Amino acid sequence: MSTETPVLRFADLGLAEGVMAAVKEVGYETPSPIQAATIPALMAGRDVLGQAQTGTGKTAAFALPLLSRLDLTKTKPQVLVLAPTRELAIQVAEAFQRYANKLPGFHVLPIYGGQSYYPQLQALKRGVHVVVGTPGRVIDHLDRGTLDLSELKALVLDEADEMLRMGFIDDVETVLKKVPETRQVALFSATMPSQIRRIAQTYLRDPAEVTIAAKTTTATNIRQRFWFVSGLHKLDALTRILEAEPYDAMLVFARTKLGTDELAEKLQARGLAAAAINGDVQQAQREKTIQNLKDGKIDILVATDVAARGLDVERITHVLNYDIPYDTESYVHRIGRTGRAGRSGEAILFVSPREKGMLRAIERATRQPIEEMQLPTVESVNDARVTKFLSRITDTLAPDESSGGDIGLYRELVERYEREQNVPAIEVAAALAKLLQGDTPLLLAPDRKQPPFAQQREYAERAQRADRGGDRGGDRGERPQRESREGQGFSERAPRERPAREFAPKKDFAPRSAPEPGMETYRIEVGHMHGVKPGNIVGAIANEAELDSKYIGRIDIHDDHSILDLPEGMPKPLLMHLKKVRVSGQPLRLQRLDEVGAAGHDAGGHEGGDYAPKPRSFKPHGDKPHGDKPRPPRPHFAKPQGGKPAPKSHRKGPPTSDRPKPKF
């Protein structure tokens, strides 16, 4: 069937009077493309094979015509809807109830696993017109004989591709074989894999095919952004977004059940109204949590992909992928929880350096670019906190009967304290404000100062030259061109023309200055003799530790090792992992410098704690730079993937007069 349909109104589709009254009450006027193409076919009694993305209005497309054809005098189920998840079953049942609120005596029953059989059995005995259930529980009732489908008029398979993915396809066929042959079948799926197509060919009779092609697989009214996870912890980043981003309700997706519980607890500890749902949460509790989200009792719902389908809460303005999904389809269904029914929505994705490939895959699958976002600054978060604090004062000053009304008693107490203690009222107010805030600081501490952009660019360019074999760090001049020395003897001219770094002992590394506050000094077992460049070290550590390169401090490269500064408090498992990371073909064997010294030898191979490496002895062309031991040839290694130019904080050389030493 062509997807081009004339502009219609719901009043033109021949719906029953009671159904049409409910449609007007909901506020629908013009049907969506899939509704305009599907409703007439179902009203005519034809089977339907529909393909459309989530959030396009499929539920109303089959619910409205099937409700219009019900015989409310009968008590046996006339419509059966199979859904892949409990959440979707509940959602579809609620939609039927909403569209049938003008039909007296109508009853709909959701049946699914995780809920007691008793209320389901009682409802089936009383009589229902529509049953919405998951395949497993529906088969259980059929086997028990408690679900009578002898008068079934229509069967709907909703999200058929998801039922296939979850392994329910055999159960679906079992149900199809047990329904009357005269039934009407409507099958809806976002994709049409071969198994779904086979079922359609086997069980549907001359179906009307409805395909709603979309330019993109995600709604255009959803703004998509991503943040590269680096430096700042994801929890801190999420907290900043929650404080500075205006939202009504937010759905946060974590990858594991344990992750949802831990994240919800941490958000609650920070004073945020958050709750978690996952597969281990009892169904009754899950339903209560979702209802609390709808009622505004909680603002943040942390969930696994179990909530990616079927959850439709108008309050959800933001979907945040705390953990990136395993596949692009999950991403599409996740962000489809916002921006529904024509509303606008926001989708935010946290991406670590290792997950850049999945980000590109998502962009290709959705055929939409995802823009990079900048985290709210400390200043913007503090401004939001101050505004919120001042608004609390304004709300308290405003007369409000529900909050106790008059503040006269407290005014008298303040005036009394002012007179007796001879303290200005403004000082009393400040003390009370501090008392109200408690031990939690009102404002965030400022970020560690970063170099100006121009200096960052200068250091980045220098690091790029180092990766090409040029400048190796420090404020030294450019390396003389190789052709300028060709044919010249090194005995006279080379010592004057070659860079001083290659002939003079590195006295500026002895002793090394203390690291900046918040940093610790480490030794790695890779140096000049291995052909390493500063960019190689920065790129490897930044990628493996998922650490923004700006948090990597000064790097000093020596013959067979290097010394660098990293943030203090790095987790032990991460340090153990970095020991095994290879740069220029060599394992880093990362060790804290003070631990190396405590073992009896410091980083320079000397006993004691002060770091004073031996001066290097240089010979022309580097035949034997270390006495009688031949210097191994410097191998050529490809630049590691993900290597980044080092900004100013990667101080590869010693401090100079125009670059002050770090403060102790």
Residue by residue, what is the 3-state secondary structure of 323-390?
Answer: CCCCCHHHHHHHHCCCCCCCCCEEEEEEECHHHHHHHHHHHHHHCCCCEECCCCCHHHHHHHHHHHHH
Report whether 28 contacts 10 (CB < 8 A): yes
What is the pLDDT, as a whole number, of residue 7?
Answer: 59
At 208, phi and psi to the nearest 5? -80, 115
Place of tokens 């409703």: 39
Place of tokens 């393909």: 51
What is the average per-residue pLDDT within 503-513? 48
Task: Give the lowest-confidence range in 120-134, 217-231, 264-278.
Answer: 217-231
Ordered domains of the chain (ranges, CATH): 10-211 (3.40.50.300), 222-376 (3.40.50.300), 379-437 (no CATH), 453-477+490-622 (3.30.70.330)
Distance CA 563, CA 444 (A): 32
Paired tokens of 57: 């209005």
Report whether 111 contacts 93 (CB < 8 A): no
197-235 b/e (C-beta count within 10 Å ≥ 16 → b): eebbeebbeebbebebeeeebbbeebbbebbbbbbbeee
Give the DSSP H or E segment for 169. helix 169-178
In sequence order, which residues have a C-beta less than 8 Å from that of residue 307 and are 6 or more positions away? Answer: 87, 251, 277, 301, 337
Distance set, CA 649 to CA 47, 268, 371, 466 (Å): 66, 35, 27, 16
What is the average per-residue pLDDT within 32-41? 89
**Residue with the larger pLDDT of the pair 90 and 230:** 90
43-54 b/e (C-beta count within 10 Å ≥ 16 → b): beebbbbbbbbb
In sequence order, which residues have a C-beta less than 8 Å from that of residue 369 and are 6 or more positions away? Answer: 363
- Going by C-alpha positions, the residue among 617, 638, 524 that lies closest to residue 578 is 524
- The share of the chain scoring above pLDDT 70, in percent, equals 73
pLDDT at 621 over 70: no
What is the average per-residue pLDDT within 245-260? 89
Residues forming beta bridges with residue 156, ordered by sequence position: 81, 186
pLDDT at 302 over 50: yes
Starting from the edge strand earliest in sequence, which strands make up the sheet with 48-51, in order? 108-111, 130-133, 79-82, 154-157, 184-189, 48-51, 208-211
Report whether 613 contacts 556 (CB < 8 A): no
Distance CA 64, CA 79 (A): 12
- Going by C-alpha positions, the residue among 303, 114, 133 that lies closest to residue 123 is 133
Task: Give the lowest-confidence range in 73-87, 169-183, 394-408.
Answer: 394-408
pLDDT 10s digits, 100-125 = 998 999 999 999 987 889 999 999 99
pLDDT 10s digits, 576-608 = 888 888 888 889 999 988 887 544 444 344 433
Confidence of residue 531 (pLDDT cuts 50, 70, 90): confident
pLDDT at 566 over 60: yes
pLDDT at 389 over 60: yes
What mean pLDDT, rounded, does the chain reach? Answer: 76
Paired tokens of 532: 């390493």
Distance CA 328, CA 364 (A): 9
As to burial, measured by CB atoms within 10 angstroms (0-12 exposed, 13-18 middle, 19+ buried), residue 452 is exposed
33: three-class secondary structure by DSSP = helix
Confidence of residue 67 (pLDDT cuts 50, 70, 90): very high
- The share of the chain scoring above pLDDT 90, in percent, equals 28
pLDDT at 465 over 70: no
Residues forming beta bridges with residue 629, ordered by sequence position: 626
What is the pLDDT, as a whole number, of residue 232?
Answer: 64
**Residue with the larger pLDDT of the pair 572 and 68:** 68
pLDDT at 137 over 90: yes
Tell me the residue type at 612: A
pLDDT at 208 over 80: yes
Place of tokens 């219609």: 8
Paired tokens of 576: 């153990």
Distance CA 555, CA 563 (A): 6
Report whether 114 contacts 144 (CB < 8 A): no
Paired tokens of 435: 């008392």
- Going by C-alpha positions, the residue among 239, 378, 261 that lies closest to residue 320 is 239
pLDDT 10s digits, 53-65 = 666 678 899 999 9
Report whether 82 contacts 155 (CB < 8 A): yes
Look up residue 276 and give its DSSP letter.
E
- Mode of pairing for the β-strands spanning 184-189 and 48-51: parallel
Paired tokens of 69: 């054809």
What is the average per-residue pLDDT within 203-220? 76
Confidence of residue 130 (pLDDT cuts 50, 70, 90): very high
pTM of the predicted protein model: 0.46
Distance CA 532, CA 466 (A): 9
What is the average per-residue pLDDT within 360-383? 81
Distance set, CA 345 to CA 165, 334, 341, 366 (Å): 27, 12, 11, 16
Report whether 659 contacts 462 (CB < 8 A): no
Q: How far apart are the first and last CA of the chain?
A: 75
What is the average per-residue pLDDT within 347-353? 89
In sequence order, which residues have a C-beta less than 8 Å from that of residue 212 and are 6 or more positions away? Answer: 3, 33, 34, 37, 50, 51, 52, 53, 56
Report whether 212 contacts 221 (CB < 8 A): no
Report whether 233 contacts 283 (CB < 8 A): no
Distance CA 147, CA 134 (A): 13
What is the pLDDT, as a whole number, of residue 445?
Answer: 67
Distance CA 63, CA 499 (A): 80
Distance CA 175, CA 185 (A): 12
Confidence of residue 214 (pLDDT cuts 50, 70, 90): low
SS3 content of the chain, % helix, strand, coil (to 5): 40, 15, 45
Counting Cα atoms < 13 Å in the Cβ hemisphere of 541 gives 31
What is the pLDDT, as a whole number, of residue 460?
Answer: 43
Could you list the beta-strand ranges (E) of 249-340: 249-253, 274-277, 300-303, 316-321
Counting Cα atoms < 13 Å in the Cβ hemisphere of 103 gives 27
pLDDT at 655 over 50: no
